[in-house]
Amino acid sequence: MNLGFKHMNNILFVIVCYKEKYWETKTFSDLIHSYKVGKTTSPLSIFIIDNTDIEGWNIDGKPVDLSNIRIDYINLKNPGISVAYNKAFEYAVKNFFQWIVFLDQDTTLPSETFQVYKHAALMNNIYLPIKVPLIYYSEGELLSPSKYINYKYRALSINKNVPKINLKNVSCINTGLMIYTDFFLKNDKYDETLRLDFCDHDFIERSKRHIKEIEILPLEFYQ
């Protein structure tokens, strides 16, 4: 289904926060840094979804938008991560974004992050509508993608010289997922009955009805 005219290289970065002001998060800081060091004229669009449900919570003191960076913010008061991602999809459609990138608040991103996602969008390979970075635990073990069989995870051996992997018995976590907007809808969005646990694996598992492979981006994140 075509959701309307979309500009090439049009990416929406989505950061979901909880009990932390978004501009103080590691992820936000690293994303802004990667954008600045890239010295690009392409705009950076960030949609902040704040799931903080504390009485009286506010974001007083938020920074003014930087040059060529658009930041939109919404507080959903924690209806669950699946609802947050589906809300991000609605925002993306309304604003004609072609790709969505999901990030959480506490991931360390390398300085080439923006440029890698930008290049992936520019290549516009919609036949691999899900693209993922390699995500490691802080001690160095690969976290995602991983072997995923009978709801159990095992470390996966990745050949970094091969830009895609077969999805059979493989899954990924939400962090860093780059999803083609039309495919997000084709895959029936996120299951909102799953507030947190397994919502990422459920989305990937359902995607196997439509695709056999995902693209591995030359990015390494740490959690």
The distance in angstroms from the start CA to the end CA of the chain is 35
User: What is the model's pTM?
Assistant: 0.91
Give the C-alpha distances (Å, rounded to integers) separating 144 from 18, 32, 117, 166, 197. 22, 23, 17, 14, 15
Task: Provide the pLDDT for residue 9.
Answer: 47
Helix (H, G, I), strand (E, B) or coil at 65: coil
Task: Provide the pLDDT for residue 197.
Answer: 67
Q: At what angle do helices 26-38 and 113-123 cross, to 10 degrees?
A: 70
Helix (H, G, I), strand (E, B) or coil at 153: strand
| CA dihedral angle for residue 47, residue 143, residue 207, residue 205, rounded to 10 degrees | -130
| CA dihedral angle for residue 125, residue 198, residue 221, residue 45, rounded to 10 degrees | 60
Tell whether the torsion through CA atoms of 172, 169, 99 and 120 is positive or negative.
positive
Report the amino acid identity of residue 23.
W
Per-residue pLDDT of the chain (223 residues; tens, 9 = 90+): 334 334 444 899 999 999 999 999 999 999 999 999 988 888 899 999 998 888 877 777 676 667 789 999 998 887 789 999 999 999 999 999 999 999 999 999 999 999 999 999 989 899 999 999 999 998 888 999 998 777 677 778 888 888 999 999 999 999 999 999 999 999 999 998 886 668 989 999 999 999 999 999 999 999 8
- Joined together, the tokens standing for residue 46 give 């960030």
Task: Provide the pLDDT for residue 196.
Answer: 64
- Joined together, the tokens standing for residue 186 give 């084709």
Backbone angles phi, psi at 38, to 5 degrees: -70, -20
